[in-house]
Amino acid sequence: MPLEATIIIIDNSEYMRNGDYPPTRFDAQSDAVNTVFGVKIDSNPENSVGLMTMAGKGPEVLVTNTKDLGQMLQAIHATSSKIGGSIDLPTAISTAQLALKHRQNKNLRQRILVFIASPLEGPSTDERNMVKLAKKLKKNNVAVDVIAFGDAIDDSENPVLKAFVENASSSDNSHYLAIPPGPHLLSDAVISSVVLAADRGIPEDAIGGGPAASTSGAANNFEFGVDPSLDPELAMALRMSMEEEQARQAAAAKATKETGAPSAPEPSSAEPEVAMDEDEEALLKQALALSEGQDVDMTGHQEEEGHEEDEDEEIARAIAMSMEESTKESKEKK
């Protein structure tokens, strides 16, 4: 449960109008900010979160650190009608650092969380300058999380943003998360990621592979279609319910096996089928005999007797078979 003051920097550039993250990038981001705010505030009663934008006319602090969700929502709502311009990440981060420096409670550690969906542009966004900025943050004990989505995802070998986070990280307190577009919700990917692991009291290694795992499809890869780390109680309830059902089935199978006799309806349903088959076979034989020129009446008579005998035999066989089946079934259930 880290004791932290966080500034969330959101992207409000023109790139946020894109609809590749349902419903739009900006709305997906608003949702994720809401989620992050909730988790941060709940993780420690002293925590506070601020909000600023980094595009438009220039980086702007919308909400200084607060615990009030209302202020957050109001600021996001106001921003939703002011999407425009392009981002200025270095200035935004410096501003955020200044805002954090003047936080009221000096006991809180400082953290900047950046949502970015625009490509890095501008004179001071090359790797050298970004690393320099990262070093400055590290020197001032500011942790940085970057959540890159949309156009901010850099497919090159070593993205600038990743290098930025790595250089700002001291004792692994900063994280880079890339969330590619897909059917999953941005907020789901964020909450199940390593970025919020510490705040949710989950060890970071338990998140499993970090960004890769969390972005590979938010809800489809899990046992019951529910991410156990998202809702541990639901996952546990589902698992318990499954185990109970398995136990019940096993007990039922055991009971049938112990009584020895196969249950009544099974053989009766199997019997006529086999008998019908046998009838057919007999008819076939008769036809064969006919074609071989044998006496029809004789074969007909013989056939009737033979059929009766066959039937008895068949019943015995059917019972044996159904018993075999039921034992096999009970074994499988086990």
Partner 1 sequence: MEEEKSALEHLELSQVNCLNEAGEHTLRSIVASRKKNTSPSTYLLSDVDQELILNLHFNQLVKIRSIVIQSSVESQAPKTIKLFINRPAIGFEEAGDAVEPDAAQIFQLTPEQVKEGKKIPLRFVRFQAVNSLHIFVASNMGDEDETRIDAIDIFGAPLSGGGLKDLSGLGKENDD
> Which residues of the shown chain bind partner 1 in the complex (CB under 8 A)?
101-102, 106-107, 135-136, 138-141, 170-171
The span from the CA of 180 to the CA of 178, in Å, is: 6
Cβ-based nearer residue to partner 1, 95 or 214: 95
Q: How far is the CB of 139 from partner 1 (least distance, A)?
A: 4
Q: How far is the CB of 5 from partner 1 (least distance, A)?
A: 13
Q: How far is the CB of 36 from partner 1 (least distance, A)?
A: 25
Q: For the residues of 253-283, what is the DSSP string, one character each?
A: HHHHHHH-SPPTHHHHHHHHHHHHHHHHHHH
Cβ-based nearer residue to partner 1, 97 or 215: 97
Q: How far is the CB of 170 from partner 1 (least distance, A)?
A: 5
The span from the CA of 218 to the CA of 220, in Å, is: 6
Cβ-based nearer residue to partner 1, 136 or 285: 136
Cβ-based nearer residue to partner 1, 133 or 160: 133
Cβ-based nearer residue to partner 1, 81 or 171: 171
The answer to whether 227 and 218 are in contact (CB under 8 A) is: yes
Q: How far is the CB of 69 from partner 1 (least distance, A)?
A: 27
Task: Calculate the CA 263 to chain-centre distance.
Answer: 43
Q: How far is the CB of 173 from partner 1 (least distance, A)?
A: 9
Helical residues (DSSP H) of the chain, grouped into ranges: 25-43, 69-80, 89-101, 127-139, 160-168, 186-191, 211-215, 232-259, 265-291, 296-333
Q: How far is the CB of 138 from partner 1 (least distance, A)?
A: 5
Cβ-based nearer residue to partner 1, 104 or 291: 104
The span from the CA of 201 to the CA of 204, in Å, is: 9
- Burial of 70 per CB tally in 10 Å (0-12, 13-18, 19+): exposed
Q: How far is the CB of 108 from partner 1 (least distance, A)?
A: 11
- From residue 283, how far is each of 15, 273, 280, 312 by CA, in Å? 78, 15, 5, 18
Cβ-based nearer residue to partner 1, 134 or 195: 134
Peptide bond before residue 23 is cis, with ω within 30 degrees of 0: yes
Cβ-based nearer residue to partner 1, 57 or 102: 102
- Burial of 48 per CB tally in 10 Å (0-12, 13-18, 19+): buried
The answer to whether 103 and 65 are in contact (CB under 8 A) is: yes
In sequence order, which residues have a C-beta less than 8 Å from that of residue 109 and are 6 or more positions away? 2, 3, 4, 5, 141, 143
Q: Torsion over CA of 252, 255, 260 and 264, rounded to 10 degrees? A: -50
Q: How far is the CB of 124 from partner 1 (least distance, A)?
A: 17
Cβ-based nearer residue to partner 1, 140 or 220: 140
